[in-house]
Amino acid sequence: MKNNTITSPKGFLAAGISCGIKKSGKADIGLIFCPTGAKAAAVFTTNKITSAAVQVSIENIKSDKISAIVANSGNANCCTGKTGINNATKMCSKTANSLNDKCSTLTARNILVASTGIIGEQLPIAKVSNGISKAAEKLLASAKAGLDFAKAIMTTDTKPKQAVRQFVIGSRLTGHEARITIAGTTKGAGMLAPNMATTLCFITTDAAITKSLLGRALKGAIGNSLNKLTIDGHQSTNDTAIILSSGQAENRPITSQCPRYKKFAAALADLCDDLARQMAMDAEGATRIFKVVVEGAATKAEAAKASRAIADYSLVKCAVNGADPNWGRIICAVGSSQVKLNLQKLSCKLDSLTVFSNGSPRKFDSKKAAKIVSQREHTITVNLGAGKASDFCYGCDLSAKYVKINADYHT
């Protein structure tokens, strides 16, 4: 079995089990463990309402060494007051205690915690604690263990989302090339909007790199991948993206923004883009995804604003679901975004097919246009005619199934 999981980089073990949070009996507790300790960086939701797990991890990420991540699904542990904070802290303490036979120096501060699921319910902490102990006993460096973790963080996802990238850079010990591995898994199918992290995302790497550069690379990678994804325009209270570096690849440590750093950052960005596209493909009720590229904007910020406005626009999303090449809805969304534009130069393309140009409709083959929109994935390109800046956003269609999933979820 090829290992495309978070245990692929050197120095990581994982596990995923069911502890009874989910009534379905599906896996709901996951552990990632780096016995030697790892450098860590993270980005979190900018929602003003944050889960207990986010609040605890924001403090713990300041530690020089992070040895484990414990994550649960089925319960967001959000809007749960002091009890929720205590439970998130207990998850960290229980994880440290459960791993003490493998690493006796661990404390709760060396553990990061993440939660996802229903808001407003207290965690069944007794079940969670038992689950952490059980997961600690099952930790392995195998592909199956990594897959079990990926499954344990799922909520309305229909499949696990994983990606791996490998590349070579100079070796510290031999002077020869060292192979670097970066692996990631993410969950998320709804309540996703491009703002800071987006969903739960866990990344491991064996690259030797400073904590500050690890954080810089993560922020850049998330900013140009998961942050460019919107499913329904709503940001979660629990959004978290974490990267752990074991440093076991034996490469010469990356301590500056040198070509080796740029190679690492590019591979990380590519991996995160892969995960973002997997999320879009598995969005709640989605049948198609699309990429919105906005060119000719006055500023990059305006290009980002316009691209998100199109990707978030319900009428555009419904048109994509029906394979309807309704460019009028796209143009309407652009106008509604209030960005600077030149109507006489405004244009729109579906893949390479121009449907609107210089502020006027273009004659085009409607069957060809419908075929483009009916693809599993297509690109909408809009030129605002107001400058030279550009940006993009990923979106997906809006189906009746999305409404059913969220109407039946839980209130």
Please name the residues in contact with 127: beta carbons below 8 A apart, sequence gap of 6 or more.
19, 20, 21
Q: What is the pLDDT of residues 303-359, one digit of tens each?
A: 999 999 999 898 999 999 999 999 999 999 999 999 999 999 999 999 999 999 999
Pick 66 or 234 by higher pLDDT: 66
Q: Which CATH class is domain 13-281?
A: alpha beta
Distances (CA, A) of 34 to 11, 69, 363: 6, 9, 59
* Structure tokens given for 78: 């959000």
Distance between CA atoms of residues 277 and 273, nearest Å: 6
At 179, is the secondary structure helix, strand, or coil?
Answer: strand
Catalytic annotation on 156? no
Q: Which two tokens stand for residue 8?
A: 């692929």
Class of domain 289-408: alpha beta
Q: Who has greater pLDDT, 82 or 155?
A: 82
Alpha carbon 395 to its chain's center: 14
The confidence score (pLDDT) of residue 10 equals 97
Confidence band (pLDDT; 50, 70, 90) for 411? very low
Confidence band of 402 (pLDDT split at 50, 70, 90): low
Is a pLDDT exceeding 90 seen at residue 103? Answer: no
pLDDT of residue 156: 79
What ranges do the domains of the chain cover? Answer: 13-281, 289-408
Position 195 pLDDT exceeds 90: no
Residues pairing with 354 in the sheet: 349
Q: For residue 166, give Cα distances in angstroms to 1, 14, 180, 182, 347.
A: 17, 20, 6, 6, 40
Residue 196 has pLDDT above 50, yes or no: no
Entry pTM: 0.86
Which of residues 203 and 171 earns the better pLDDT score? 203
Predicted local distance difference test score (pLDDT) of residue 235? 61
Mean pLDDT of the chain: 90
Confidence of residue 287 (pLDDT cuts 50, 70, 90): confident
Predicted confidence (pLDDT) at residue 105 exceeds the cutoff of 50:
yes
More confident residue, 188 or 136: 136
Quote the strand ranges of 48-128, DSSP E: 66-73, 111-116
Residue 155 pLDDT level (bands cut at 50, 70, 90): confident
Strands 240-245 and 29-44: antiparallel
- Predicted pLDDT of residue 197: 39
pLDDT in tens, 293-311: 999 999 999 999 999 999 9
The amino acid sitting at 254 is: I
Mean pLDDT of 101-117: 90
Between CA 191 and CA 117 the distance in angstroms is 11
The predicted pLDDT at position 29 comes to 98
Please write the tens of the pLDDT for every residue from 11-63: 999 999 999 999 999 999 999 999 999 999 999 987 888 999 999 999 999 99
Cα-Cα end-to-end distance for the chain: 41
pLDDT at 409 over 70: no
Give the CA-trace dihedral at 262, 267, 269, 271, to 10 degrees. -170
| pLDDT on residue 232 | 56
Binned at pLDDT 50, 70 and 90, residue 125 comes out as very high
- Measured at the CA of 104, the angle between CA 99 and CA 108, to 5 degrees, comes to 65
- The catalytic position among 185, 186, 198, 205 is 198
> What is the number of other CB atoms lying within 10 angstroms of the CB of residue 332?
16
CA–CA dist 187, 159 (Å, integer):
9
Tokens 């009028």 found at: 328
